[in-house]
Amino acid sequence: MRRLLLLVPLVWLVATLTFFVVQAAPGSYADTIDNPRLSAETRDAIRARYGLDRSAGAQYVSWLGAIATGDLGTSFLYKEPVSRVLSRALPPTLLLAGSGLLLTMLLGLILAVTAVRQPNGWADRVITILSLGLYGVPSFWLAGMLILVFSVSLGWFPASHMHSVDAGRLGSLAYLADLLRHLFLPALCLGLVGAAGTARYLRASLLDVRASRFMLAARARGIPNRRLLLVHALRPALLPVVTLLGLSLPVLVSGSVVVEAIFSWPGMGQVAFNAARARDIPLILGATLVGAAAVILGNLVADLLYAVVDPRSRGER
Amino acid sequence: MNIPRRLIWGLATLGSLLLACGLGPFLLSDTGDGDPLHSALLPPLTRVTLLELTDGRTLIAPKVTRDGGVFRVEGPKGTSSISEDEVAAQRETRLWLGSDRFGRDVLRRLLVGGRISLAVAALGVTIALLVGLGVGLAAATGGRVADAVLMRTVDGLLAFPLLMLLILLSALFRPGPALLVAVLGLSSWMGLARLVRGQVLSLRTRSFIQAARVAGTRWPRMWTLHYLPNLKAPVAQDTALQMGNLVLAEATLSFLGLGIPATLPSWGGMVAQGQRVMLDGWWLSLVPGLAIATLVISLALIGDGLQQTSKASA
């Protein structure tokens, strides 16, 4: 609880820092509007309309005052309340990043456990090379290749967006199937890239645990190999992965900008990207606040999971 | 000492990449800027004729025939005729990795772009290394308050997803290559700072350091002889991995149009351009993507190898 309270000033600090960084950047929203017929007077009028002609300090104070009453302001770009823009973008991102994370953990776990069944055996070698390869591959490139193979050549999955154009007329089951088909490629892309790192981590920590004395003792008690690996070794080996999981929550909420951009997924990453490009200060700050909140939650979740996985850490708090 | 295979493979791959990008452009025949009419979207291994014109330009085209005093230059998108007087020299060459939609030689752009990618990542990681070392040492030796302030700052900065931070900063400031290096370096030193601090604190409790302290060793000797040699391995390992991350980060930014300006070749930018014409030229996005992967993997292998050596010697 004390830690939770301590994080309130941290969020404020992050938001304040972001505010002044955005202020320090050259240009403002009025300069990013791409219309050559816009006269200098009109741009000045736009600046005044959004209160951008005031000093940075005055803008900051009025923004902070609004925040205190729970008002995130109105987005310059979308001409809508920031809270509405964010609450529309958050569910798609949670869906995509959540499935991506699930795939990451599942694939990573399967790969790592298969690999350490026989260290330096052929399966281990193949998996090591595979995960090293996936680790090095940039996600935007992998996304392109997945589209090329699964959408263009095979035509199995759609390459972009969350729904088909006629999704509104589909029945609820068909609607869900349509959504899942759209979800598959972006989630796979996130999952494959993430699984490479997880598998590398988990394999190393499984091997470390295998060498420990309690494993030798367990083996001596005649516990079968399978149970030894899946029950005795996996639990302590999951510790670093749990930390990884907690750290990935901010990404879960802020969205993978790259994957969302390539697959035209209407999530937080896209919103944040557009906001930054348009100097949409209220929206940038709103997205930052959500991101900072996610960081806090991520740390908390990691702590809680730590307690589940590692009984030793329970007593300390 | 037994050198791990991973380290050897990693160093060999990285060395070959450095050599290829450094020397390659000098060894290849200069294919000039190409042009969409005569050399657009030629697949890898295409044989082309290279014409050096008297006005200094070079023309490449898959088929060049001589008809009296006139060269007929046939390309995939059209044919043109050039009078014999304008041609200074004629040579045969190969486009090993094909050409892009503007008719430019992909291998050449790949090698020149590799120089930029390597330089940006190397300089960025140098900045990260210097700042990380400085902050880590300051936190470990500067007393309680400095330690608390510095480490909470590191925690706060680490909480930001790196790529998100980079995208925000580059979208706001539109950095040129120099500023990009600074942005990359200044957003990736935190892990190193934490590592250095932890290492120094744990070294301090080791008996050889305490023995040296009891013996009255002065601090310059203490650092050069006792601390720094023991920091070398973990720091080198982390730096290698961090450099891989920066290569990926730079490529991602360039892919999004926020990194290296489009007028310069860069691997990320080449993937982006290639994906726009993916159906007409599969090699255009495949090749630079594989180049990025090779570089990142070689750095990961070096990092792994260094970890194995430090584990073995510990």
State the pLDDT at residue A317: 42
Cβ neighbours for A83, distance < 8 A, ≥ 6 positions apart: A72, A286
State the pLDDT at residue A290: 82
Given CB atoms, is B308 within the 8 Å cutoff of chain A?
no
Q: Give me the residue from B275, B289, B300 closest to A135, CB to CB.
A: B300
Are B251 and A138 inside 8 Å of each other by CB? yes
Q: Which two tokens stand for residue B292?
A: 């990025």
Are B289 and A138 inside 8 Å of each other by CB? yes
Counting one residue from chain A and one from chain B, the pairs whose CB atoms sit within 8 A come to 106
Q: Which residues of B touch A258 (CB under 8 A)?
A: 163, 252, 255-256
Nearest to B252 by CA among B179, B146, B162: B162
Whether A9 has a pLDDT exceeding 80, the answer reads: no
Given CB atoms, is B279 within the 8 Å cutoff of chain A?
yes
Whether A10 has a pLDDT exceeding 80, the answer reads: no
Q: Could you read off the pLDDT of A244-267 as tens digits, one per residue?
A: 776 666 666 666 788 888 888 888
Given CB atoms, is B167 within the 8 Å cutoff of chain A?
yes
State the pLDDT at residue B47: 80
Are A140 and B296 inside 8 Å of each other by CB? no
Given CB atoms, is B270 within the 8 Å cutoff of chain A?
no
- Please tell me the pTM assigned to this model: 0.84
Taking the C-alpha atoms of residue A198 and residue A192, their distance in angstroms, rounded to an integer, is: 10
Whether B121 has a pLDDT exceeding 50, the answer reads: yes
Whether B14 has a pLDDT exceeding 90, the answer reads: yes
Please state the φ and ψ torsions of residue B67, each to the nearest 5 degrees.
Answer: -125, 95
Q: Which residues of B touch A13 (CB under 8 A)?
A: 156
Are A136 and B297 inside 8 Å of each other by CB? yes
Whether B1 has a pLDDT exceeding 80, the answer reads: no
Given CB atoms, is A26 within the 8 Å cutoff of chain B?
yes
A144: closest chain B residue by CA = B275
Distance between B253 CA and the closest CA of chain A, angstroms? 9
Q: Give residue B17's pLDDT band: very low, low, confident or very high (50, 70, 90).
A: very high
Conformation bin of residue A34: beta by default, left when phi > 0, alpha when psi is -120 to 50: beta
Q: Give me the residue from B159, B172, B300 closest to A136, CB to CB.
A: B300
Taking the C-alpha atoms of residue B243 and residue A266, their distance in angstroms, rounded to an integer, is: 32
Q: Could you read off the pLDDT of A287-304 as tens digits, one per residue?
A: 888 877 777 777 777 777
Taking the C-alpha atoms of residue B144 and residue B128, their distance in angstroms, rounded to an integer, is: 24
Question: Hey, is A316 helix, strand or coil?
Answer: coil
Given CB atoms, is A133 within the 8 Å cutoff of chain B?
yes
In order, the DSSP letters of chain B are ----HHHHHHHHHHHHHHHHHHHHHHHS---TT--HHHHTTPPTTEEEEEEEETTS-EEEESEEEEETTEEEEEETTEEEEEEGGGEEEEEEEEETT-B-TT--BHHHHHHHHHHHHHHHHHHHHHHHHHHHHHHHHHHHHS-HHHHHHHHHHHHHHHHS-HHHHHHHHHHHH---HHHHHHHHHHTS-HHHHHHHHHHHHHHHTSHHHHHHHHTT--HHHIIIIIIHHHHHHHHHHHHHHHHHHHHHHHHHHHHTTSSS-TTS--HHHHHHHHHHTTTT-THHHHHHHHHHHHHHHHHHHHHHHHHHHHHHH-
Q: Give residue A83's pLDDT band: very low, low, confident or very high (50, 70, 90).
A: confident
